[in-house]
């Protein structure tokens, strides 16, 4: 069962459907969304995509001003559709 998650993060984070990775829910004090990639050993699985800088190899990057990777951070209310929502499951990246 899918649903929609609303959360604040940098406006440049990209949650469009153009990537082959899956959007997953993570818990960083509040619920946020990152990407889960199918990867080979040693590569980061949970990441973010930035419209300005491409792949960010940490799921927490740019989810708040504190974790901003650049001076272009601008707070934005994202509304992201997920195929499934499994809050609390390690398999979806929740911490």
- pLDDT at residue 93, as a whole number: 44
Residue 23: give the domain boundaries. Answer: 3-85
Residues 11-63: tens digit of each pLDDT: 999 999 999 899 999 988 889 999 999 888 888 999 999 999 999 999 999 99
Domain assignment of residue 14, yes or no: yes
- The shares of helix, strand and coil residues in the chain, as percent rounded to the nearest 5, are 5, 40, 55
Domain assignment of residue 20, yes or no: yes
Domain assignment of residue 90, yes or no: no
| CA separation, residue 81 to residues 63, 65, 76 (Å) | 17, 23, 16
Give the contacts of 40 (CB within 8 A, at least 6 positions apart). none
Domain assignment of residue 52, yes or no: yes
The pTM assigned to this predicted structure is: 0.82
Domain assignment of residue 36, yes or no: yes
- pLDDT at residue 62, as a whole number: 97
Domain assignment of residue 92, yes or no: no
Q: How many domains would you assign to the chain?
A: 1
Domain assignment of residue 93, yes or no: no
- pLDDT at residue 28, as a whole number: 83
Domain assignment of residue 68, yes or no: yes
């Amino acid at each position: 069962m899918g649903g929609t998650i609303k959360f604040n993060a940098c406006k440049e984070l990209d949650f469009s459907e153009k990537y082959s990775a899956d959007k997953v829910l993570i818990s960083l004090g509040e619920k946020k969304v990152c990407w889960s990639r199918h990867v080979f050993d040693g590569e980061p699985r949970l990441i973010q995509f930035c419209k300005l800088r491409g792949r960010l190899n940490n799921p927490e990057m740019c989810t708040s001003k504190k974790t901003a990777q650049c001076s272009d951070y601008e707070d934005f209310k994202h509304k992201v559709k997920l195929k499934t929502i499994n809050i609390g499951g390690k398999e979806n990246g929740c911490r």
